[in-house]
Structure 1
Amino acid sequence: METKFTRPLTDLTVQDDGLTIEGYASLFGLPDQGGDIMERGAYAKSLERLATHGDSVKMLWQHDPSEPIGLWEEVREDARGLRVKGRLLPEVARGREAAALIRAGAIDGLSIGYRTVRATKDSQGRRRLHEVELWEVSLVTFPMLREARLAAKGADLALLHEMTAAVAQARARLMG
């Protein structure tokens, strides 16, 4: 079963102007550090609702709702877990900082923000999440599910590095 939510790109005038990132924000069948286990299909209804209402999963920095740093252009559930693909916005200061931290290898964690809709307890007392309402996927230092990680594309890293340097030079000229 594959459920997919894709954000339309028609409202964007410039593509590939940021850092493209992707990875698994959640993996099925693995306990997180709190003992919760996400089951296959847990995101399906939420992604369907988001698509129906034209809403999107937010990309945040460290789960802070006041710190959006980019756009998730694709959020989909596949056989392995919740796969995300998006881009950091270089026009946002925290987005540039996140890009620098990713480039340096200091940040590579992904974590989800959600509300539990339906869960059961297994024989070991762990929660098995069968349905959740997904709100956001954050870049984080320490993901609750250690295996939830991202990978960045090198070409986009180089482009963002050039853009960040150009912004710094322009700022220096204006301030100096």
Structure 2
Amino acid sequence: MTAKTESTTPATAVGVQIYRVYIKATPQAIWDAITKPEWTARYGYTGYADYDLRPGGTYQVRATEGFRAGALAQGNDLPEVIIDGQVLEADPPHKLVTTFRMLMDAATAADGFTRITHEISEPRNGVCSLTLTHELDGAPHLAAILGGSYEDQGAGGGWAWVLSDLKTLLETGTAFAG
């Protein structure tokens, strides 16, 4: 997995995070794992992602009970919807572009909407690549969290961790998340 972060200064948090992971799975299996709540609740931060997969459709993530309990144990009472956004482009099972706003605390919610692109390649020898590009201009708190800067404080490893867990789940049937 590779990660690239470009930033001018921490104060402006102008940047893009790019992650690529290679997964022994079909494009459809990867697409389903990204877009179907019965899959998204099984890896990463374990939220139920609901997409209206058409341009202008909504995108929302609700925490699972396990995620909610873990956050509460750390003193963070989560709202019902922890992430929201809008579908900008959906080309199943190859490309998904959405806006993204994390609502789990006041600082990340104030960062506003950012943009995520998921691109799934056609398989070569049964292996696909999944590239996630997160445009984080003006979102310093979100960029730090999703870049894994607060992993040692219990905030998880960001996108690298989520994508690693997604790969593990699809290839082995078992996630390593919570």
Please tell me the TM-score bracket, short chain as reference: under 0.3
> What TM-score, normalized to structure 1?
0.26
After TM superposition, the score normalised by the length of structure 2 is 0.26
Greater relative contact order (Cα < 8 A, sep 6+): 1
More strand by share: 1
Which structure shows the higher helix fraction? Answer: 2
